[in-house]
Amino acid sequence: METMIFIIFFALVFIATFILWKYIHLKHDVYEYTEKLDIAINKMLKNEELKTSSYKQDDLWGKIYNRLVRLSHLYTHKNLEISEEKNKLKELVSDISHQTKTPIANIKLYLEMMTDEKDFDRNQEYLKKMNGQVDKLDFLLQSMVKMSRLETGTIKIQKQKTPLANTLAMAISNVIIKAEKKNITIDVQYDERLELNHDKKWTAEAIFNILDNAVKYTNDGGNIHIVVCKQELFTKISIEDTGKGIIPERQATIFTRFYREPEVHDNDGIGIGLYLAREIIMLQNGYIEVHSKIGKGSTFMIYLPNRD
């Protein structure tokens, strides 16, 4: 009997000791886990990216830390994107300020001159110049509205089977006056019977943006050649100019929002024309390529799918 009581007592002591040891061990693990979690979260709050560690992936902390690392990478990436967006916004505000200062100052100047000017013909000349400055401001604001609509998803692509010739005519008509002023020849080679399922309005906008750049950076007396070719999967619209060309290192960045080449920074524009063109074509499951050589011009190729 005493032996049985001793065995039971010993078993109870062993169980109690085991439970106490387990409690202490668990408490230590909880403290250690909490401390590691606190260190990791503090690093993330300080914008310090967590590094991949050699923790065992099959225990709780290893699994949690692995997810925290992924979250940290995502958090860091998002912060970089926000920082880049802020920098781009600053550049945009600076560009808008620079672009609007001159037209507004000129409009004020012409108004002052008209107040003191009694000659009718001279006043008509001032009005004409003021109208040109208003057009510049209107172009700037319209470009910003288009970009805003594109990025907020309010642009709705509405495809219809339409002759591509009509779309080209719409795009060319908006740039022909600028081309004539610089004595630039625009010739088009296409099949009038070619029909394509596309959004006429926005595709014309994309083509116009590329043509507008071609006219802007092509010297007086230059040429712009447009060729439309239906391929097996895509219809290709090639726009070739005799402009200044683009160096290879910049050809990957010219479609970036707000991008402008340093040497043309003082020219009209805010650097979203090609960005809008690419996004509009991509919304129709197409894409744009560019081939260019310095001093020999550029060729922009728009590819639109023959079928949805």
pLDDT per position as a tens digit, 134-167: 887 887 777 777 777 776 666 778 899 999 999 9
**Model confidence band, residue 243 (pLDDT cutoffs 50, 70, 90):** confident
Asked if residue 302 lies in contact with residue 245, where contact means CB atoms within 8 angstroms, the answer is no
Q: Which domains does the chain have, with CATH numbers?
A: 160-305 (3.30.565.10)
* Host H or E run for residue 67: helix 60-116
What pLDDT does 137 receive? 81
| pLDDT (0 to 100) of residue 209 | 92
pLDDT (0 to 100) of residue 171: 94
Q: Is a pLDDT exceeding 80 seen at residue 72?
A: no
At 2, is the pLDDT very low, low, confident or very high (cuts 50, 70, 90)?
Answer: low
Q: Give the C-alpha separation, 304 to 308, whole Å.
A: 10
DSSP calls for 183-218: T-EEEEE--TT-EEEE-HHHHHHHHHHHHHHHHHTS
Q: 5-9, 188-192, 243-247, 292-296: lowest mean pLDDT where? A: 5-9
d(CA 93, CA 87) in angstroms, rounded, equals 10
Average pLDDT of the chain is 81
Q: Which of 18-32, 148-162, 187-201, 205-219 has the lowest mean pLDDT?
A: 18-32
Reported as a single tens digit per residue, the pLDDT across 276-301 is 899 899 989 999 999 988 888 899 99
Q: What is the mean pLDDT of residues 56-79?
A: 72
Query: In the numeric block, which tokens belong to residue 306?
Result: 């023959």
Distance (Å, whole) CA 60 – CA 279: 44
CB 225 within 8 A of CB 300: no
The percent of residues in the chain predicted with pLDDT above 70, rounded, is: 79
